[in-house]
Amino acid sequence: MLKRVLVTGGYGFVGSNLVPVLLERGYSVRILDNLSRGQKKYLSEYEDEIEFVQADITDFDSIHGAFYGVDTVVHLAAFGSVVESVSDPRQNFNMNVLGTFNVLQASADNNVSKLVFSSTGGALIGNAEPPVNECSLPKPISPYGASKLCGEAYCHAFAESFNMSVVALRFANVYGPNSEHKTGVFNKFAQQVMQEKPLTIFGDGSSTRDYIHVSDLCGGIALAVDASALRNEVLHLATGKDTSLRELANLFLAQKDLDESHLLFKDVRTGEVEKNFADYSKARELLGFEPQINIVDGVRDAYRYLAGRYAGP
């Protein structure tokens, strides 16, 4: 009998890239999504292979039955924006803390053997000297980072209290296909380059991030789903390399042979980490994880994808 994996937020950006990977690896997939941001069109060609439950993770009674008969849960559903978490911290708490608690409780009630939790590196750890790793002291500076730290704490508690295998994966900054509904820097830069408008940079452009392509990330998630020996672990899925905001902007400008006269600098936004990249050696050791796509190729492919989507038919 095929092992059944439940993916919360399965029609979202990461989920819609992960589901085909899980199907190809022979898993039976059930998606739990409220469709507030996710879009079924991303997985239309797999419709006959997927079970779907439309429900919201903040409503425990509506989601509880979706966990019946599930071997592994990949919990991706989240309120994922640092900026939006500052403007609406209560909604961020309800989705990321209460929602995660509900997912863990439903998993424990239904004897789910493993849960893979989508966490974050930079926002959870805060302004620490990079590269960060699993031993870095968490000091979140945004409600989003705090909510993911709470989620990791509940994951650890449920692993110990209910004999559940839980793996928290701290994602670097993810980009790639099926992300046109997002509001992150890749999307904004792509739209600004398309229109040959100034690329907006908050700060002086020296802030750095670790950008990981969604296909590399989903490969790491699938390895965590496969791994039978992991019980209560925290792992970084990252590239181990940082790219400054100014460098990223120039990579986008190069897609249309534009120069730095198209950059517009504004004040730094509240809650955002200054510099961050992560050491993924633990994920390499325990999962065999190794990212393949470099930032130059990744920006080129992301721009082509986003330009095609924003341009329309």
Calpha distance 313→278 (Å, rounded): 39
Q: Show Cβ contacts of residue 19 under 8 Å, excluding neighbours closer than 6 positions.
A: 7, 10, 29, 31, 43, 46, 50
User: Tokens representing 253?
Assistant: 């400008």
Catalytic residue among 27, 144, 175, 280: 144
End-to-end CA distance of the chain: 42
Angle, helices 214-226 vs 13-24, to 10°: value is: 50
Q: Exposure of 257 by Cβ count < 10 A (0-12 exposed, 13-18 middle, 19+ buried)?
A: exposed
Contact criterion met (CB below 8 Å) for 214 and 13: yes
Q: Show Cβ contacts of residue 38 under 8 Å, excluding neighbours closer than 6 positions.
A: 9, 10, 11, 12, 15, 16
- Is 211 labeled as catalytic in the residue annotation? no
Residue numbers annotated as active site: 144
